[in-house]
Amino acid sequence: MDLRVRALETVLSRKGYIDPAALDTLIDTYQTRIGPRNGARVVAKAWVDPAFKAWLLKDGTAAIASLGYSGRQGEHMVVLENTEAVHHLVVCTLCSCYPWPVLGLPPTWYKSAPYRSRAVREPRSVLAEFGLHLPDSTEVRVWDSTAEVRYLVLPRRPAGSEGLGEEALAALVTRDSMIGVGEARAPSAEGQGPLSAQASAASAPASAAPSSTSSR
């Protein structure tokens, strides 16, 4: 499938029907700008507004829709709150179900077979590869997305963010933190780029690529 899409893209761009750069911009927009930013605003609002947070955890679909984020792949949203005691991690073991209205398009690793299987079998190892090391006292719960239900993780509000407004808070919320493979950024780390999508893409975790350890 992937090969066919790429072949088609190549043919169309050679013939001048599509501009690969424009295509990249379009995908990048959904992947790293529009999508995750919506989710980040939801999270930031929940951090500052206890009533909204309560609503969000009780009826995620309605609370999220109240901010204008609804539609395909977001019809049945369930929001999972990360705490010191429990850490939630989202996967789609079957394919790549993902909450588009709040997170945009899924990253490549989310759709990869290694992530889909390993997130369930050995979530702590997967989290460690993302750079997230949780204490043993924190329970890890893995949620399998379906065609029916899509999950959004409500990450913990970072320490030192007490004085920040909603907009500044939203800037701390990464895509990965809303899937549960990361945490929200600390305020001091702000300004490292939009939603750290590049950073997490580069770390390519679940590929579990033995190639990275087999060199020399």
* Residues at the contact surface with Fe ion, assessed by CB under 5 A: 92, 94-97
Q: Is 112 a catalytic residue?
A: no
Counting every residue written for the chain, the total comes to: 216
Q: Is 92 a catalytic residue?
A: yes
Closest approach, Cβ 73 to Fe ion, in A, equals: 10
Catalytically annotated residue among 66, 96, 112, 207: 96
Q: Residue 106 and residue 14: Cα distance in Å, rounded?
A: 27
In the complex, residue closest to Fe ion by CB:
97
Q: Is 137 a catalytic residue?
A: no
**Amino acid making up residue 105:** L
Q: Which CB sits closer to Fe ion, 91 or 173? A: 91
Grouping H, G, I as helix, E, B as strand and the rest as coil, residue 189 is helix
Residue 86's beta-bridge partner residues? Answer: 139
Q: Which CB sits closer to Fe ion, 102 or 171? A: 102
Catalytically annotated residue among 97, 145, 161, 200: 97
Q: Which CB sits closer to Fe ion, 69 or 151? A: 151
Give the gyration radius of the chain's Cα atoms.
18
Closest approach, Cβ 91 to Fe ion, in A, equals: 9
CB atoms within 10 A of CB 75: 15
Q: Which CB sits closer to Fe ion, 106 or 158? A: 106
Residues in contact with 199: Cβ distance below 8 Å, sequence separation at least 6, in sequence order: 192, 193
Q: Is 125 a catalytic residue?
A: no
Distances (CA, A) of 32 to 37, 73, 185: 8, 17, 16
Closest approach, Cβ 70 to Fe ion, in A, equals: 19
Closest approach, Cβ 181 to Fe ion, in A, equals: 17
Q: Residue 120 and residue 170: Cα distance in Å, rounded?
A: 29
Task: List residues with catalytic annotation.
Answer: 92, 95-97
